[in-house]
Structure 1
Amino acid sequence: MTVTIYGLGCRSTKKASKWMIHNQVPFVERNMMEEPLTVGELQELLRMTTDGTDDIISKRSLPYRTLDIDFDKLSLIELLEIVHQHPRLLKSPLIVDNKKLQVGYNEDEIQQFLPRKIRKRRWLQWKMEHLYPSEG
């Protein structure tokens, strides 16, 4: 299964890409400034969120602060059209596979994109090291 990293060329996106390479996780990277997400792609991402647009839209971003728009009064389609036109409204990176979405780079959370058998092996290794430390 291939992971997709949607990013804005920021430090967090670069960290996520390096992590994928280091852990040999197949991925593709897409710069959202060069190729903005379509309204349909944004809808697919929203299906994976817990809190909808609050999970993926950055209220600290420059476009959010400078666009003279009351985002709360927009319909979902209107909002997604604006996000399509202004990709910097999105948090970065958005890391996605068929079932999971991670917003931003987090060293612990990104582990979810490892294949299950590798996660299990790492967990068992951690358990042995921490619960049964060698004496010496």
Structure 2
Amino acid sequence: MITLYHNNRCSKSREALALLEQSGKAFTVRYYLDQPLSAAELMTLLNALQLPARELLRSKEDEYKALDLANTLLSEQQLIEAMVQHPKLMERPILQVDGKAVIARPADKMLALLA
């Protein structure tokens, strides 16, 4: 199964969607701002990305500063909960193909997963 975690307001996300459409493969789009991930879904996604939660955070978002997410004493679970409560904090776009995933910045990073 192929899933694109997508934010329509993001030009990089729109580029990834266009590339995915050109691939001719069947996929689903998850508008994660409208359908936020649960903590369990986010942990599964982080495992597929092979990243700690901190590396999925968008540090330039206002919420990042307001929630003091730069604090290195915050646990993995606290960072995950912040992204559950504020999905805007997640990097985008993310392509997940079965048990693997990649942050598609730039969009051509997803080509290896689609091969």
State the TM bucket, normalised to the shorter chain.
0.7 to 0.9
Unaligned runs of 5+ in 2: none
Unaligned runs of 5+ in 1: 116-136
Contact 1:91-1:104 within 8 A present in 2 as well: no
Instruction: Show CA shifts across 1:23-58 (max 9, x none).
Output: 102211111110101100111112123441233111
Tell me the secondary structure at the aligned position of residue 30 of structure 1.
Answer: strand
The alignment's TM-score, normalised by the length of structure 1, stands at 0.72
Q: Partners of 1:34 and 1:95 in 2: how far apart? A: 17
Instruction: Show CA shifts across 1:78-100 (max 9, x none).
Output: 22112101001110111111132
Contact 1:42-1:80 within 8 A present in 2 as well: yes
Q: Partners of 2:42 and 2:76 in 1: how far apart? A: 10
Contact 2:12-2:107 within 8 A present in 1 as well: no
Matches within 5 A, 1:16-27: 16-27=16-27
Contact 1:15-1:105 within 8 A present in 2 as well: no
Match of 2:92 in 1: 92
How many residue pairs get aligned? The number is: 114
Query: Of the two structures, which has the highest relative contact order with CA contacts closer than 8 Å and spacing of 6 or more?
Result: 2
Rg larger in 1 or in 2?
1
